[in-house]
Amino acid sequence: MSPPEARPARPRFAPLPEWVGPTTRLVHGARRVDRNAGSVVFPIYQTSTYHYPAEHSEVADPRDVYLYSRMANPTVEGPEELLRSLEGGETARLFATGMGAISATLLSLVRPGDEVVALASLYGGTLDLLTETLPRFGVVVRLASDAEARAPERLFTERTRLALLESPTNPTLRVYDIARWARAADSVGALLAVDNTFATPINQSPLALGADLALHSATKYLGGHADLLAGAVVGADRVLRRVDPRFSLGAPLDPFAAFLLHRSLKTLALRVARHNENGRRVAAALARHPAVARVDYPGSASADDEAVAARQMRGRGGVLALTLRGGEAAVDPFLHRLRLVHVASSLGGVESLASVPSLTSHRHLTPAELAERGIAPGLVRISLGIEEPDDLIRDLTEALDAHS
C-alpha cells in the first residue's frame, strides 16, 4: 500500500482532445471516466454520504473514494473540472457562494502578522472581510487607491503574503495591469489572487497573466440565469491544497446548484460573446445621448486603461456605468421609465438589470468616499443581458429621453 503522496489520485475525468476550443469544451462539459452509467447529461448525486468499502483495508488511498459531500461530491466535481480547464489551472474548488470561496481562500492563506495588499475598490463583501474580519486575527491589510494600484511595486513589502485584485472593478469598470501586479507580488514571494467575476474566463485569463489564483462569484456570469449562488477558486495544486481542503469552514456547493451551474456553463461562451456585443453597441449609443454625462466600460477611463484592457482582455463584457447629467434627482424617474431592463442588484444574467450603487452596494460610503471611487451621485450600473441590442438601446433611450 503506497502512501497517498507517492502517486497522484486516480483521475475521475476523461480529458477532451487538447485541440478543442473553449466553446466546444463548455458545450461538452466535464466527462467522468466511469461515464455516469451512460447518461449524456451529468447526473445529480443528491447525497450527503457514500457507501464505504466493507473491507477498509481495500482503500489504498482515501482520495479514491467519496466519503462525505462536504469534502467531495461527483456532481460538484463536474463544473469544477470544467472551470479548472477553462481558467488553465491545476485545481478548482466550488463553494456555496462567491463570498464562501473568497473567505475560505483568505482565511486559509494568511496568519497573524501577515500583510495583505488589496484594491480599495474591491467588491463590498470582500472589503468587509478584509477590513473587519482579518484584522481581528492580527492580519494587516493595506488598501490601494486607484492611483496606487497603477504602480503596485510600491505597495508590497517583505511581509506581504497575499494580494487581492479585481479587474474590471465594480461599478466604475476600471482595469488594472494583472501581469504587473503578478510581478510585484512575485518579487516579495507573495501570492496574487484576482477576482475574475466581471471578465469571466472567456474574456480574461488571470492565471496566464501570472496570477496564482482566479476567484469567481459564479452567481454572476458563470451561472448566468440569476437562479443560483456559487463561488469558485482556481489555481495551482500547491496553493489550493492549503485552501480549506476538508471544507471545515463549511461552505461547499450544493449538488443541485452544481447541476444548474454545469448546465449554464454549456452556453457561457455564446452568452459572453453576446454580452460583449451588447456592451459595445449600447455604450456607443448611450454616449451620444444628451441626458448622459458619461458612460464607463472597461478601457473607457483613460488611454492607460484602454492599453491595459486591450492587452489583457479578449472582450469587454456587458456591464456599463451610466452617469446621468441630472444627477441623483434624475435616477428614479429614469429607472421608473424602463420597460425591459429590471431594476435589481446583481449582474451577469441573461436579462438586463439596472442598479444604483450609491443607494445599494455602496450606500455605507460617505459622499467623499464615493467621489474618491469615481461614483457620481447620478451613476446607474447596467448589466446588459443577451436581449437584442436594438431593444435594449430603445428601452434605455426612451427612459433617458424624458430628461433631455
What are the residue numbers of the active site? 70, 123, 195, 220
Residue of the chain from 78, 201, 206, 231 that contacts ligand PLP (CB under 6 A) = 231
Asked if 95 is part of the footprint of ligand PLP (rule: CB under 6 A), the reply reads no
Q: Give Cα separations from 316 to 88, 300, 304, 384 (angstroms).
A: 20, 10, 15, 12
Could you give the CA distance from residue 398 to residue 391 in angstroms, rounded to a whole number?
11
Q: Which is nearer to ligand PLP, 89 or 357 (CB)?
A: 357
* Minimum CB–partner distance for residue 186 and ligand PLP (Å): 24
* Minimum CB–partner distance for residue 219 and ligand PLP (Å): 4
> Beta strands 140-144 and 115-119: pairing type?
parallel
Residue entry with cell 447620478 = 378
Q: Which is nearer to ligand PLP, 65 or 344 (CB)?
A: 344
Options 92-100, 128-136, 138-146, 314-322: segment touching ligand PLP (CB under 6 A)? 92-100
Q: Which is nearer to ligand PLP, 83 or 292 (CB)?
A: 83
> Beta strands 191-195 and 319-324: pairing type?
unpaired
Residue of the chain from 78, 98, 299, 385 that contacts ligand PLP (CB under 6 A) = 98
Could you give the CA distance from residue 317 to residue 173 in angstroms, rounded to a whole number?
10
Q: List binders of ligand PLP among 281-340 (CB under 6 A).
A: none
> In this structure, are residues 322 and 382 in contact, taking their beta carbons and an 8 Å threshold?
yes
Helices 389-401 and 328-337 meet at what angle, rounded to 10?
130
C-alpha dihedral sign at 304, 306, 307, 313: positive
A 10 A CB-CB count for 343 gives 14
Residue of the chain from 167, 200, 217, 383 that contacts ligand PLP (CB under 6 A) = 217
Helix, coil or strand: residue 178: helix
Q: List binders of ligand PLP among 108-137 (CB under 6 A).
A: 123, 125-126
Options 64-72, 216-224, 278-286, 381-389: segment touching ligand PLP (CB under 6 A)? 216-224
> In this structure, are residues 353 and 341 in contact, taking their beta carbons and an 8 Å threshold?
yes
Asked if 219 is part of the footprint of ligand PLP (rule: CB under 6 A), the reply reads yes
Output the residue with the shortest Cβ distance to ligand PLP: 98
Asked if 203 is part of the footprint of ligand PLP (rule: CB under 6 A), the reply reads no
Residue entry with cell 471544507 = 247
Residues of the shown chain interacting with ligand PLP in the complex, contacts defined by CB under 6 A: 97-99, 123, 125-126, 166, 170, 195, 197-198, 217, 219-220, 229, 231
